[in-house]
A = this chain, B = another copy of it.
Amino acid sequence: MEKRVENIADMNVDFAQWYTDVVRKAEMAEYSETGGCIIYKPYGYAIWELIQKSLDDRLKKTGHENVYMPMLIPESLLQKEADHVEGFAPEVAWVTHGGSEKLQERFCIRPTSETLFCSHYANAIQSYRDLPKLYNQWCSVMRWEKTTRPFLRGREFLWQEGHTAHATAEESRSEALDILDTYVDISENVLAMPCIKGQKTEREKFAGALDTFTFESLMHDGKALQSGTTHDFGNKFAKAFGIQYLDKNNKQQHVHQSSWGISTRLIGAIIMVHGDNNGLVLPPYVAPIQVVIVPVASHKEGVVEKATELCEKLSKSVRVKLDNSDKKPGWKFAEYEMKGVPIRLEIGPKDIEQNQCVIARRDTGEKITIPLDNVENIITETLEAIHKNMYAKAKSRQDKNTHTATTLPQLKEILDSTPGFVKAMWCGDDSCELRIKEEATATSRCMPFEQEKVSDKCVVCEKPASHMVVWGRAY
Contacts and interface: CB of A to CB of B under 8 A. Distances in A.
A67 to B, nearest CB: 5
Interface stretch (A40-48, A245-253, A373-381): A40-48
A286 interface: no
A9 to B, nearest CB: 22
Given A70-B37, A71-B156, A107-B34, A97 B93 contact: yes
A72 interface: yes
Given A30-B124, A32-B69, A99 B91 contact: yes
B90 A99 contact: yes
Task: Please give the count of copies of this chain that the complex contains.
Answer: 2
A161 B158 CA distance: 17
A98 B93 contact: yes
Residue among A48, A93, A100 with most chain B CB within 10 A: A93
A95 interface: yes
A396 interface: no
Contact of A39 (B66, B120, B156): B120
A417 B71 CA distance: 42
Nearest to A96: B96
Contacts of A123: 30
Contacts of A124: 30
Contact of A40 (B46, B68, B98): B68
A71 to B, nearest CB: 6
A414 B59 CA distance: 52
A128 interface: no
Interface string A295-329: 00000000000000000000000000000000000
